[in-house]
Structure 1
Amino acid sequence: MRISTSTPGGVAVQTVAETAPAEPVRSTAPAAAQGELQSAVMQPALQAMKDMPDIDHERVAQLRDALAKGELPFDAGKLAGLIQRFHRGEK
């Protein structure tokens, strides 16, 4: 199976074929424009990852164990509300 991506009219399109195409698929967008788009999209994500604190794996294991033992209450509704708030940009 082969998945290939092309950008007709600047829109990314992926196709799946049982066999590889005879010729490699080439983008019609100029290489400089592709690099600029990738950079513009990826830079904020890369910066956000750099700004994130390190993960305390020991603390995560402690919380996971407490949750599994029922020692830590879990409110699915509250978690859902916090996720919604985060994605709306609220603090």
Structure 2
Amino acid sequence: MRITTSTPDGMAVQRVADSAPAEAPEAVAPPAAAPLQSAVLQPALQAMREMPEIDQEKIDMLRDALAKGELPFDPGKLAGLIQRFHGSEQ
């Protein structure tokens, strides 16, 4: 019996068995993602974990600059970027 599986990088792997397994498992768990081993990346990952998801101070600064007219805003350009991002070519 031939068994074809895929590796995480998309390559197909075939194995040949003399007989079918006695009992096939109902669900097979996907392989666990390999942890990042690089000592260089560990400090950056820790710093990212410690950062807030939202930088409220920066949001407030940008909102004030927009309200004062210090930051240019082009709604047409924003609309075009949103359409391009979502795949609409209208």
Tell me the TM-score normalised to structure 1 length.
Answer: 0.37
Higher helix proportion (structure 1 or 2): 1
Larger Rg: 2
* Higher relative contact order, structure no. (Cα contacts within 8 Å, ≥ 6 residues apart): 1
Tell me the TM-score normalised to structure 2 length.
Answer: 0.37
